[in-house]
């Protein structure tokens, strides 16, 4: 999505930016990705700037247990004092940082630097661990690089066939669905989703909707590979020239013939064969115009998420797709800066430029840019779920700084997360509204949002884009760069944390230079001169030579691995960590809806979006609804081994009879993440959001009373 504030200067200086009360409108911009289109969230995004309950003063928790307005000096002094005392008493690991995939590149970079240079803690991770971790792990292992799409999104429109697993772009990012038109017209769109989602209906009349048992996407991919090998559809010349591990991968799928796969995943064997043949016919080696395989969170948020991504990549390599025109494997990014947010240092094991923090050469390079001794940089920290599990425990963090995340709604096993955060000695939250996590904090710091700050974002294609300030923030609100600068100074580091986003980006470019995600040749000035953005890697060039043009398409000649070849890795299916059992005979699957985004902290405050989708709901198939005795519009109780949720029943044949779909945008009793498991993928650390076992029952109202269900927040929450 590309947004432009209209009737405002393109990039106003601080002293002439429109005031916060000035009228703001949003218009679609003719851009290669969205082609001028916006979704409902985009059209209403200006209202978020005026959201009820917008924070404009720091808040401190008092002796009475309530949050009270405070000055910035008092709030920052309290944070700095708390951090200093906890570090002195328990060591640097006692202080932790949790970032977000919605932060600009500059803020993500500064946050990672702050953790390692000022706090000297390894305890940092971010909510991208809930989003792109499995896709990143699989792509790095196979290709030596992680970029959501290794080609421009517009290339997707030229593909003859597209296999889409675990993503519903028709609702989550509607403008991108236009790029599926070519495959739809050719009858080549294959959607893998347990629900009959809005995207799945795009296959009506042509294409295929494969509706597997929840948690069995990997089986579908293993069966597709089996068919390609068995029917001689593999691009053997490509495999010989550009891959390693093909023989091991072939042996690993030998046991997954379609009839056996059908018994596990529920997809008819003939549909599996049809899908494999359709993709093979579209591959360049067969004379097709191209085929693309895409995965999303539905396939990746699993204890076997990295294995599922690996199987998708193996299928793409088997058909000779990566590096070919209108072909390849890609992962659909879920957050506003999901790509850039994971490149420059807020991951537990990472330094800027996608460098590994345990690599001595990487440490030396980044330490030189930062002006510190490499030996002073901490080592790898814990991934997000494990970090949260340890918060407030005797050996775990005693303080947590949260930036760009609403953990009480968005993290798995949310009731345990609440307990862990409540056990902290100090919880500090930077946010623009009093989110559910901010309501639990000891200190809340009000910060700027999208139209009020300078910076850059990186799209799922690796396209680096400028975010320009369109209006002044409310009085009393600061940027997170200012917050980190002021905290660093209070903690004894008076240099190295500028507040100017262009200056931060220039340092980011130097720190990333030579890394996998090389931004060395980029700057705000260069991006300002190119409204379409530039793709990384974009290294710096010697003085007097033309600037590097960026790299829209990866893998054309080789892969960035030691031998230049892609690695095929054998994987197998083991199923969900929390599978069906007598007391939990129904699957829960979770996801998003058109009107809301992530934890809903912002979108639930937009009147039009709240009115369009005001409450938590659960989709049930008519057979399941009849079995438990609930009608459409009545309340259901959903119970897992971790908690209980209550939601309005939406009875629909788009659901599977053995599964309930529930979106995760609501807090309280309507929180889907009260139910989800925090079991994780052993490689990526990704939690298994997308499938767990539950019991479902009708909620019976007491005589004379009406049961309630949480609804969207249309006004500021009370300060408790």
Q: CB pairs under 8 A, 24+ apart, for 230-234? A: 230/257, 231/276, 231/277, 231/280, 233/276, 233/277, 233/280, 233/286, 233/319, 234/318, 234/319
- Name the pairing type of β-strands 59-61 and 443-446: antiparallel
| pLDDT confidence bin for 614, thresholds 50/70/90 | confident
* Helix H or strand E segment including 443: strand 443-446
**pLDDT for 52:** 80
* Alpha carbons 420 and 590: distance in angstroms, whole number: 23
Contact 413, 642 (CB under 8 A): yes
Per residue in 194-237, pLDDT (tens digit) is 999 989 999 998 899 999 999 999 999 999 999 999 999 999 99
Q: ∠87-92-96 over CA atoms, to 5°? A: 100
Other CB atoms within 10 Å distance of the CB of residue 608: 13
Token readout for 286 is 């067969």
Closest CA to 539 of 562, 510, 564: 510
Whether residue 247 is predicted with pLDDT greater than 90 in this model: the reply is: yes
pLDDT at 45: 66
Interatomic CA distance for residues 427 and 186, integer angstroms: 54
Mean pLDDT on 705-718: 41
Please report the pLDDT score of residue 609 as a whole number: 72
Total Cβ atoms within 10 A of residue 35: 16
Among 512-516, 517-521, 653-657, 708-712, the minimum mean pLDDT is found in 708-712
- First and final CA of the chain: distance in angstroms? 36
DSSP string across 629-663: T--TTSEEEEE-SS-EEEEEEEE-TTS-TTEEEEE
pLDDT at residue 710 tops 50: no
| DSSP calls for 160-216 | SEEEEES--HHHHSGGGGGGGHHHHHTT-EEEE-SS--TTGGGGTTSSEEE-PPTT-
d(C-alpha 440, C-alpha 422), whole Å: 7
Q: Is 159 exposed, middle or buried (0-12, 13-18, 19+ CB in 10 A)?
A: buried
Whether 714 shows a pLDDT value over 60: the answer reads no
- Rounded Cα distance between 648 and 622, Å, is 14
Q: Which residue has the higher pLDDT, 654 or 610?
A: 654
Q: How far apart are CA 202 and CA 57, in angstroms?
A: 47
What CATH number does domain 586-698 carry, 2.40.40.20, 3.40.1080.10, 2.30.29.30, 1.25.40.10?
2.40.40.20
Tell me, what's the pLDDT at 38? Answer: 65
Q: Which residue has the tokens 């504030």?
A: 5
Specify the 3-state DSSP secondary structure of 224.
helix
**CATH of span 59-130+337-499:** 3.40.50.740
pLDDT higher than threshold 50 for residue 81: yes
Residue 41 to residue 595: CA distance in whole angstroms: 6
| Number of C-beta neighbours around residue 88 at 10 A | 10
- Predicted local confidence at residue 703, as pLDDT: 42
Burial 286-302 (b: 16+ CB within 10 A, else e): bebbbbbbbbbbbbbbb
Instruction: Calculate the alpha carbon distances from 663 to 304, 405, 590 in Å.
Output: 22, 17, 5
Q: Which residues, in sequence order, are CB contacts of 703 under 8 Å at separation 6+?
A: none
CA angle 612, 615, 618 (to 5 degrees): 110
* pLDDT recorded at residue 51: 78
**Residue 660 falls in which region: left (phi positive, over 0), alpha (psi -120 to 50) or beta:** beta
Residue 235 near residue 320 (C-beta atoms within 8 A): yes
Q: Express each pLDDT in 565-611 by its tens digit.
A: 999 999 999 999 999 999 999 999 998 775 566 666 667 777 777 77
Instruction: Indicate whether this model's pTM tops 0.85.
Output: yes
pLDDT of residue 601: 64
- Strand, helix or coil at 315? helix
Both structure tokens of 609 = 């979006």
At 720, the pLDDT band (50, 70, 90 cuts) reads very low
Distance CA 93, CA 491 (A): 16
Provide mean pLDDT across the span 396-421.
95
Q: What is the pLDDT of residue 713?
A: 38
Structure tokens at 408: 């009480």
For the segment 1-8, the average pLDDT, to the nearest whole number, is 36
Q: Right CATH number for 133-331 from 3.40.228.10, 3.10.129.10, 2.40.30.10, 3.30.470.20?
A: 3.40.228.10
Residue with tokens 């974009």: 538
DSSP 537-571: P-----TTSPPP---SS--SS--SSTTS-EEP---
Contact yes or no for 4/29 (Cβ under 8 A) = yes
- Mean pLDDT value of segment 256-261: 98
Residue, of 711 and 73, whose pLDDT is higher: 73
For the cut 90, the answer to whether the pLDDT of residue 168 exceeds it is no
SS3 98: strand
Chain-wide mean pLDDT for the chain? Answer: 90
Predicted confidence band at 37 (pLDDT cuts at 50, 70, 90)? Answer: low
Q: Would you state the structure tokens that stand for residue 336, as one six-digit string?
A: 């506003």
- Confidence band for 702, pLDDT divided at 50, 70 and 90: very low
Across 105-129, b (16+ Cβ under 10 Å) vs e yields bbbbbbbbbbbbbbbbbbbbbbbbb
Which residues on adjacent β-strands are paired with residue 618?
649
Of 46-60, 428-442, 468-482, 686-700, give the lowest mean pLDDT range. Answer: 46-60
Q: In which residue ranges of the chain is CATH 3.40.228.10 found? A: 133-331
Give the H or E element holding residue 87.
helix 72-90
| Better-scored residue on pLDDT, 42 or 127 | 127
Cβ atoms within 10 A of the Cβ of 339, count?
29
């Amino acid at each position: 999505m590309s947004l432009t504030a209209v009737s405002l200067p393109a990039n106003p200086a601080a002293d002439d930016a429109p005031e916060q009360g000035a009228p703001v409108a949003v218009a679609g911009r003719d851009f290669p990705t969205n082609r001028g289109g916006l979704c409902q969230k985009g059209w209403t995004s200006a209202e978020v700037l005026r959201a009820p309950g917008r924070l404009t003063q720091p808040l401190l928790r008092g002796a009475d247990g309530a949050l009270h307005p405070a000055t910035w000096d008092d709030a920052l002094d309290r944070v700095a004092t708390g951090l200093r005392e906890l570090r002195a008493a328990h060591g640097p690991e006692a202080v932790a940082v949790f970032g977000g995939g919605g932060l600009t590149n500059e803020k993500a970079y500064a946050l990672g630097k702050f953790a390692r240079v000022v706090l000297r803690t390894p305890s940092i991770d971010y909510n991208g661990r809930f989003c792109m971790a499995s896709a990143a792990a699989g792509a790095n292992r196979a290709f030596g690089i992680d970029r959501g799409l290794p080609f421009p999104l517009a290339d997707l429109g030229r593909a003859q066939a597209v296999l889409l697993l675990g993503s519903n772009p028709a609702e989550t990012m509607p403008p991108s669905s236009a790029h599926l038109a070519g495959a739809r017209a050719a009858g080549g769109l294959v959607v893998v989703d347990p629900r009959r989602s809005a995207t799945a209906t795009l296959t009506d009349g042509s294409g295929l909707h494969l509706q597997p048992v929840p948690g069995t996407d990997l089986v579908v991919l293993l069966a597709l590979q089996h068919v390609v090998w068995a029917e001689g559809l593999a691009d053997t010349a490509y495999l010989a020239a550009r891959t390693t591990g093909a023989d091991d991968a072939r042996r690993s799928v030998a046991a997954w013939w379609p009839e056996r796969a059908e018994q596990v995943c529920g997809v008819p064997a003939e549909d599996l064969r049809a899908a494999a043949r359709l993709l093979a016919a579209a591959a360049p080696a067969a004379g097709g115009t191209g085929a693309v395989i895409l995965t999303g969170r539905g396939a990746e948020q699993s204890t076997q998420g990295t294995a599922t991504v690996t199987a998708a990549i193996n299928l793409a390599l088997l058909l000779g797709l990566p590096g070919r025109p209108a072909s390849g494997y890609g992962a659909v990014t879920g957050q506003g800066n999901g790509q850039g947010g994971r490149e420059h240092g807020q991951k537990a094991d990472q330094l800027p430029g996608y460098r590994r923090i345990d690599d001595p050469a990487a440490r030396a390079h980044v330490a030189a840019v930062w002006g510190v001794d490499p030996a002073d940089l901490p080592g790898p920290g814990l991934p997000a779920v494990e970090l949260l599990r340890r918060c407030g425990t005797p050996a775990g963090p005693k303080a947590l700084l949260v930036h760009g995340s609403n953990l009480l709604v968005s993290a798995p096993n949310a009731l345990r997360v609440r307990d862990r955060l409540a056990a902290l000695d100090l919880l500090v939250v930077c946010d623009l509204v009093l989110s559910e996590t901010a309501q639990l904090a000891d200190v809340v710091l009000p910060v700027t949002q999208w139209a009020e700050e300078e910076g850059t974002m990186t799209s799922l294609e690796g396209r680096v884009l400028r975010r320009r300030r369109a209006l002044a923030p409310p009085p009393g609100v600061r940027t997170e760069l200012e917050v980190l600068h002021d905290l660093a100074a209070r903690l004894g580091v008076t240099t190295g944390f500028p507040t100017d986003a262009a200056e931060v980006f220039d340092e980011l470019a130097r720190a990333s230079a030579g890394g996998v995600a090389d931004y060395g040749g980029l700057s705000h000035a260069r991006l300002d001169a190119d409204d379409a953005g530039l793709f990384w890697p974009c290294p710096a060039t010697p003085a007097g030579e033309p600037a590097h043009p960026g790299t829209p398409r990866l893998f054309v000649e080789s892969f960035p691995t030691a031998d230049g070849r892609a690695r095929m890795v054998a994987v197998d299916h083991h199923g969900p960590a929390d599978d069906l059992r007598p007391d939990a005979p129904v699957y829960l699957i979770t996801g998003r809806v058109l009107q809301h985004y992530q934890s809903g902290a912002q979108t639930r405050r937009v009147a039009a979006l709240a009115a369009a989708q005001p409450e938590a709901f659960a989709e049930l198939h008519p057979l399941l609804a009849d079995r438990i005795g609930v009608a459409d519009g009545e309340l259901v109780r959903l119970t897992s081994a971790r908690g209980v949720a209550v939601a309005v029943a939406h009875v629909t044949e788009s659901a599977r009879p053995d599964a309930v779909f529930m979106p995760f945008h609501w807090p309280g009793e309507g929180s889907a993440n009260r139910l989800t498991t925090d079991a994780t993928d052993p490689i990526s650390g990704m939690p298994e959001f997308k499938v767990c076992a539950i019991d479902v029952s009708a909620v019976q109202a007491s005589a004379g009373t009406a049961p309630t269900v949480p609804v969207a927040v249309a006004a500021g929450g009370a300060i408790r």
